[in-house]
Structure 1
Amino acid sequence: MRAAVLEEHGEPLSIEDIDAPDPDPNGAVVDVEACGVCRSDWHGWQGDWDWIGIETQPGQILGHEPAGTVIAVGEEVEGVSEGDHVAVPFNLGDGTCMECRQGHSNTCENVMPLGFVEAVQGAFAEQVHVPFADHNLVKLPDGVSSVDMAGLGCRFMTSFHALAHQADVGAGDWVAVHGCGGIGLSAVHIADALGANVVAVDLTDEKLESARDLGAVETVNAEEVDDVPAEVKAIADGGADVSMDALGIATTCQNSVGSLGTRGQHIQVGLTTDEERGMVHLPTDAMVMQEIEFIGSFGMPPTRYDEIFRMVATGKLEPDAVVSGTIDLEDVNDTLEAMTDYGTEGIPVIDEF
């Protein structure tokens, strides 16, 4: 099969013919029909995240937002069959640890980040192997396309979990979203569907226009104002009720916390770059005195995908609205390179391998 393989951090991925995977006894092989290209792939390509114990090594196949059709299953698999149309969450769990048994498989004690470690090669390839298939694979509703559902593996479901499960978003609340990439635009759309008033913050007018199309009632161009938190507070009646850092740099994290009103909730979704290495200075005294919450959010348990599907079925959510376009496997290097300067919009999806 054809795959895009990491040879050296920051250098073009090598498009190669390699052996197709066989299923482990508890695993399944998925024929990849679509795979999103995410900023997390860019982090892996750059060699980030050694400070959290994840550093992609040469030989790794990146790609963690696949959707496709099951073509082979292991002898121990019971709930998945050949021909099933599925999405694959990026944060694969083993289904057996305490976290998984309590419904929190996104924080599995033995979490396997798809496409970032040798044990789970990614989906910039014609086929991908998924361990613990009964636990990890998510069957898609009838009639949806793999391209439209590719973002469910990471960005869309990550934003949904953050806003619908981790934060306390209510009708009429002000929600600020800092960074309008794939996660941020997904968050704008989801917060709007949950009944919130959304303020979108970014550096480019094109992304802010997309945010308006997806439901933002106000936008802030961070390059055109001197004080982003003050601007958000002026719009949001003194401060946002919920604010998300969807990018993961010090500035967006600090601006998000600073945008909140008293008893506001900051949601950290974006993971940091080599510049921050996981450490960001925050106004802790102000957070104490205003009783501001700092909440981390990572992925989403596969068992809760039905919540998204029910909202899709009634037209409240449209994951395809965040898909910005399709590319060939050969285009993945140009897309990763463009992410260095935040030059992509929405969710670009590989649909030709």
Structure 2
Amino acid sequence: MRAVLIDRFGEAPTVTDLPEPELPAGGAILQVRATGLCRSDWHAWLGHDATVSLPHVPGHELAATIAEIDPAVPGWQAGQRVIVPFVCACGECEQCLEGNQQVCTRQLQPGFDYWGSFAEYVAVPYAAVNLVALPDELGFDSAAALGCRFATAYRAVTAVGNVQPGEWLAVFGCGGVGLSVVMIAAAAGAQVIAVDTNPAALAMASRHGAGHTVLAGRAGDPAGPGDGTAEQIRQLTGGGAAVTMDAIGAESVVQTALASLRPRGRHVQLGLLPEPVRLDMSSLAFRELSWLGSHGMAAHDYPAMLELVRSGAVRPDELVTGVIGLDGVGQALAAMSGAAPACITVIHPGGEPG
């Protein structure tokens, strides 16, 4: 199969022929029809994730058809259209049994723990727990982000952040996950403020439900310290946002987001933070702020999100503004070292997804 291979962190990957993955016990082999290029893949390429060892095939959010499945897994057959959470849960640990598969203690993530979806085929472990049927009316391109960015945004808004109609929500970073947050939160009735350094990203956020936008910081830094972003948000909201979300992952964003909250506000961390951050714990205690992490979504929670997509209330397909082949992955990864692109880029490993 053709695949993108990283031989050295931070250097241009190559497109090469590799052996197709072997069928894991209880798992499936998927033919990748479309796979998203996510900032987490950029972190993997740069070596920020300790689970990644070289050589490596990245990629973790995908829409596919089943090529082969363990006969012991009931209810599935070759040819079915599927998506999978980027957290492939075991289904048996304590967290899984409590319904928290997104924090499974034995999870395996394609593109991190093993070779991923920037390839014509990818293996999926624990298929009975992780396969999600893709409705016929949803195309592969629009479904590619449902396994990571859109699902992560959906759970962050509806479950972790518990964003209520009328509440002020400030979203920092309007790449794929940030724009997904904007779209979902606006559909839920929140008053959304989008924050980014990229005017094009803010324009796209406005088109998808942001009532206000704040152009902040400098290139590559969505909210530079002392740039006045927090003050603008406090003025817009009459005292601070009820919820802030860091959808890109930077210490300066964290600090600005916390400063943008009203007392008893909630901060949700979505973006990965390559380095530890310093927090003013006295401020968190004195103002009774909540710091919340959000990590994907379990497969059993997908039906509500898919129904929202099917209803037309949210349109993840409108966030896909770039389609490339495997040969374009290296350039696209390098471009992510600058400001977050105002789009979701989808890769077709084997040509047109159909």
Normalising by structure 2, report the TM-score.
Answer: 0.94
Equivalent residues in 2 for 1:1-353, closer than 5 Å: 1-50=1-50, 54=51, 56-117=52-113, 120-223=114-217, 226-273=227-274, 277=275, 279-342=276-339, 344-353=341-350
What does residue 221 of structure 2 align with?
A: none
Q: Report the Cα offset of residue 61 of structure 1.
A: 0.8
Q: Report the Cα offset of residue 76 of structure 1.
A: 1.7
* Structure 2: distance between partners of 1:189 and 1:129: 31
Unpaired segments ≥5 residues, structure 2:
219-225
* Structure 1: distance between partners of 2:111 and 2:169: 32
* Structure 2: distance between partners of 1:113 and 1:31: 17
* Structure 2: distance between partners of 1:76 and 1:39: 35
What code does the residue aligned with 1:74 have? D
* Structure 1: distance between partners of 2:213 and 2:168: 12
Q: CA contact under 8 A between 2:119 and 2:349: conserved in structure 1?
A: no
Q: Report the Cα offset of residue 75 of structure 1.
A: 2.6
- RMSD (Å) for aligned C-alpha atoms: 1.3
Q: Report the Cα offset of residue 352 of structure 1.
A: 4.3
3-state SS in 2 of match to 1:92: coil
3-state SS in 1 of match to 2:206: helix
Unpaired segments ≥5 residues, structure 1:
none
* Structure 2: distance between partners of 1:343 and 1:245: 13
Normalising by structure 1, report the TM-score.
Answer: 0.94
Please list the CA deviations of residues 96-120 of structure 1 after superposition, one character each: whole Å capped at 9, or x if unmatched: 1111111100100111122112xx3
Q: Report the Cα offset of residue 346 of structure 1.
A: 2.0
Q: Report the Cα offset of residue 343 of structure 1.
A: 5.4
Q: Which stretch of structure 1 is more off in the superposition, 37-46 or 222-231?
A: 222-231
What code does the residue aligned with 1:317 have? V
3-state SS in 2 of match to 1:113: coil
Q: Report the Cα offset of residue 283 of structure 1.
A: 2.3
* Structure 1: distance between partners of 2:272 and 2:286: 26
* Structure 2: distance between partners of 1:199 and 1:284: 25
What is the identity percentage for the equivalent residue pairs of Structure 1 and Structure 2? Answer: 38
Q: CA contact under 8 A between 1:182 and 1:322: conserved in structure 2?
A: yes
Q: CA contact under 8 A between 1:44 and 1:116: conserved in structure 2?
A: yes
3-state SS in 1 of match to 2:186: helix
Please list the CA deviations of residues 258-280 of structure 1 after superposition, one character each: whole Å capped at 9, or x if unmatched: 1110111000111112xxx2x21
Question: How many residues of Structure 1 are paired with residues of Structure 2 in the alignment?
Answer: 343
Q: CA contact under 8 A between 1:25 and 1:75: conserved in structure 2?
A: no
3-state SS in 1 of match to 2:25: coil
Please list the CA deviations of residues 110-149 of structure 1 after superposition, one character each: whole Å capped at 9, or x if unmatched: 11122112xx310000011101111111111122111010
